[in-house]
Structure 1
């Protein structure tokens, strides 16, 4: 019998398994194996696709929504802003997810890539400007400012931000830092959310703002703050260190400023530590003016804060101002105004043209700054219904006091050493100019800074001009001068 015939005979034999012939059993086995292999391959392909979708979804949740594709920070002329940061260009490309950033010496970026302990020199090009020394009366103690070198707060945190700046914190990181957002760590709260004090794993104290997820408002405030100050550095702006985007959670992590805010020093709990001297108040006011000048004229596009008030002016140990809370900030192009359909801000600080017509530009901040300056001078709230009817509104009361030539009586009685007449008049002139009802007549914040820093303001030429204007107005209007002009006349008569 041939070999082929014997093979056929063997394959045709019945097997014990259900009486199936051998060749049928072999065919079933081979087919099952092929089907198993195909099944494994299909499961693997499906798993790979799902993994890619998860990565893409997580990446999309981790991106800051693109209100502005490019944020450009340009250095202006050294004549006006000699200490502003060097030019930085940061582009967020949401197609590829790649971020392009110009070469920077920011130690925070270095600290994210390795555990190298880079030291950030205080008052470096990223700080905006150097602090000025000053004497603060705080239970008769003296504090002086110094340019000490400080370590970057992000040293030892290796997580690399997807935005090219700051630190990308996880929800778990911030839960650990704040003891699971313990009520004991709450240092502030409002309609926007809650602010907690926390400590990072490297020992750095931070303030964690947990935004409330109320119908998208958290997303809007998150975008506004990140777009406004995510990339900028200035001595008088509270520093945004990083952020957390996880699910519905939106959180911002700031440097911790441990000496209260101006509202607490003027009206609240910090008064138990002593009363702010005139010098300390003017130092805080000048720092605030420099921060606003930088936001309005030192960067492009400019930033309008929209909520300048005493509780948003944080104060550090050396009584430097730190402007905070950019949740209502608006980014505008050069010479651009915005007509708002919904007026945002705090009652008593809002500029009249913004409240009445929705017109918003940097002069809105100038008005709010003028109210803030009056608050620092007088120690009064912008609106206080506990006072007599003619003193409820701070701005109107101040104009009444100036109009009756009682300007020197507006100084806060809690100030132990009264300011020199010249210094008081200069501050009042600046304040009254900032609260001018006509927005286009208000000074720019760079002019405000120069006026506050100048010992010779107003100059002789300015005084002659104002005296001639005052005489002209008085001759036309028998009822007397506008409070602004009257105050300038008062300055002239006292200085001669």
Structure 2
């Protein structure tokens, strides 16, 4: 990883080995931390991420992934693209980080078999079943990040509401699809951005269409990251994406029930009044799935 050199990647500065055998990697310090700390914060903090900044972050990350997939001696699959792994410097320029579960792949190969690891909400369908994965798996995760940049909210969230403790799951890409079908494009955008009046509707439509192409459940329909860069920078036309059945929603519902049941057991001693409207976001849960041969 030390040989990777791209302006939108976090660069490894060095490493050290202590007398106790502990190993440390040394990376630059990023003043503004990770994207998720701003994107999922209160309105005041989210408003610092202007539309222009969010669009530029989308471009920065797309270029980082395009470099990993197409310009390295060996293709590199990141496999855990999410806001928590996107770091922001003092001027909010984005850097893709955390290659802990990444995989390298020969340039003449298009797929690789691996244990499916990553974060629920960003995992593509092919990583949830015994199938080989490819660079298109990163494309799917990137598409989910685009939705979160648009809406200022997590792509999947489960909440417990009311005295009945009824669980309500929300899948933002599905909400966005329905809003756009109704002709309410700007309702998809983070309200704190809309209120400023500094949002370009044509760019919202473009980013939304790219996001929907990226999360197509058939990997062959997803663009590669070079094409995504060209789309975002206006060098390639973006057609209206086909309607996706979004079968992955069913898995996320099951996974959230599992996560919530574990949380319920831990919180059994709490009163119901303290648990109302408790967020049970699946986005922060990392899982490993052993794929069959």
What's the TM-score bracket when you normalise by the shorter of the two chains?
Answer: 0.7 to 0.9
Alpha-carbon displacement from aligned partner over 1:15-38 (angstroms, at most 9, x marks no partner): xxxxxxxxxxxxxxxxxxxxxxxx
Alignment partners' CA distance in 1, 2:175 and 2:141: 16
Sort the Cα spacing of 1:391 and 1:412 in 2 relative to 1 into closer, same or farther, 3 A: farther
2:50 to 271, 277, 285: 277
The answer on 1:350 being equivalent to 2:141 is no
How many Å separate the matches in 2 of 1:448 and 1:422?
Answer: 16
SS for the counterpart of 1:356 is coil
1:368 CA displacement: 0.3
1:409-488 map, 5 Å: 409-415=187-193, 416-454=196-234, 457-458=237-238, 482=243
**For the residues of structure 1 that align with 2:86 and 2:92, how far apart are their CA atoms?**
11
Report how far residue 483 of structure 1 moved.
Answer: 5.9
Q: Who is 1:248 aligned against?
A: 21
Structure 2 residue corresponding to 1:337, chosen from 81, 104, 111: 111
* Aligned residue number for residue 385 of structure 1: 158
Larger RCO: 1 or 2 (CA < 8 Å, sep 6+):
2
Q: CA deviation at 1:233?
A: 1.1
2:95 counterpart (307, 322, 326): 322
Judging changes above 3 Å, is the alpha-carbon distance between structure 1 residues 251 and 395 closer, same or farther for their aligned structure 2 residues?
same
SS at match of 1:240: coil
Unaligned runs of 5+ in 1: 1-228, 471-480, 485-496
In 1, the alpha carbon distance for the partners of 2:59 and 2:207 equals 11
Find the partner of 1:264 among 37, 41, 47. Answer: 37
CA drift of 1:401 comes to: 2.4
Shift of 1:269: 7.3
Q: Distance in 2 between matches of 1:270 and 1:421?
A: 21
Matches within 5 A, 1:19-30: none
Name the SS of the counterpart of 1:392 in structure 2: strand
Distance 2:95 2:43 in 1: 16
Q: 1:273 to 1:282 in 2, by over 3 A?
A: closer
Q: Residues 422 and 262 (structure 1 numbering): CA distance in 2 closer, same or farther, change over 3 Å?
A: same
Kindly report the root-mean-square deviation, in angstroms, between the aligned alpha carbons of the 2 structures: 2.5
Tell me what 1:203 maps to: none
Distance 1:394 1:326 in 2: 27
The equivalent residue for 2:140 is 367
Offset, 1:272: 3.7
The residue that corresponds to 1:408 in the other structure is 186
Mapped contact 2:46–2:152 kept (Cα < 8 A): no
Structure 2 distance, partners of 1:271, 1:372, is 21
Per-residue CA distance 1:239-290 (angstroms, 9 max, x = gap): 1001123453121100111112210111137954843110000111110000
**1: CA distance between counterparts of 2:175 and 2:145?**
15
Tell me the equivalent position of 1:58.
Answer: none
Corresponding residue to 2:11 among 215, 239, 264: 239
Alignment partners' CA distance in 2, 1:393 and 1:257: 31
Checking the alignment, whether the CA contact within 8 Å between 2:15 and 2:25 is kept in structure 1 is yes
TM-score between the two structures when normalised by the length of structure 2:
0.74
Alignment of 1:9-408 (within 5 A): 229-246=1-18, 247-268=20-41, 271-272=44-45, 274-334=47-107, 335-340=109-114, 342-386=115-159, 392-408=170-186
Residue-by-residue CA offset, 1:457-489 (whole Å, 9 max, x unaligned): 44xxx6xxx6xxx9xxxxxxxxxx7269xxxxx
Secondary structure class of the residue paired with 2:190 = coil
Instruction: Provide the rounded CA distance (Å) in 2 between the counterparts of 1:368 and 1:418.
Output: 27
Q: Greater Rg, structure 1 or structure 2? A: 1
User: Structure 1 residues 306, 456: CA separation in 2 closer, same or farther (over 3 Å shift)?
Assistant: closer
- Structure 1 residues 290 and 319 mapped into 2: Cα distance closer, same or farther (>3 Å)? same
Distance of 1:265 and 1:354 partners within structure 2: 28
1:359 partner SS? coil
Output the CA distance in 1 between the equivalents of 2:51 and 2:66.
22
